[in-house]
Amino acid sequence: MKAAILFAVTLITLSASAQTATLRIRLIDGKSGKALTPASIRVATTPDEKPRYLIPAADPASVLVYLKSAQTFTVSDQFKRCDAANKDAPPATYSVADILDHGQVSANTCSPKVPPVAPKPGELVLYVRHATPCELSKDHINGIRFCN
C-alpha cells in the first residue's frame, strides 16, 4: 500500500513539474551593452493577474522565472524599453514556447553601436535604458510633465 501511495505522489509531482517552464530573463543596457541588475522584475501571465515581483539571486544580471501552465507573459521593470516605438507603449507579450525552443532577444533602438546578442533557448534578453529625469518626473508625479 505504501508503495502505491509513493508511486501516486511521484506521478503527481512529475505531472506538475512537467507543466512548469523555467526561463531566464536578462536585461542589457541598450546604450552601453552592459548587463543591468534590476531591483526587481514584474511578471504577469494574464492581463488580470497581479504581477509577481522577482528579485535577482545568484546571478545579479538575470532572473529565473518559473511559470506554471502559462503560454504567454509580460515583463515590466524600472527601466525603459529600447524596443518600443512609443515610449508609453504597454509591455510586450512573450511566448513561453518560443523562448523555450529558440530564445528571444528584443530589438535595440537605443544604440546601433551595441552588437546584438544571439538568442539562447530558455532565455529572454531585453534591451532597456535608464529613464531620463523628465520621464521620471512624468512617471512619478501624477502624469504632470515638467519637460518637453
Domain boundaries, the chain: 21-140
124 CB-near residues (< 8 Å, 6+ apart): 23, 24, 25, 26, 75, 94, 99, 103, 104, 105, 106
CA 45-49-55 angle, to 5 degrees, is 70
Q: What is the pLDDT of residues 76-95, one digit of tens each?
A: 777 888 887 666 677 788 99
Q: What is the pLDDT of residues 48-73, one digit of tens each?
A: 776 676 766 566 677 888 888 889 88
Tell me how crowded residue 66 is: count the other CB atoms within 10 A of its CB.
13
Instruction: Looking at the structure, give the CATH architecture of the domain made up of residues 21-140.
Output: Sandwich (2.60)
> What pTM does this model have?
0.74
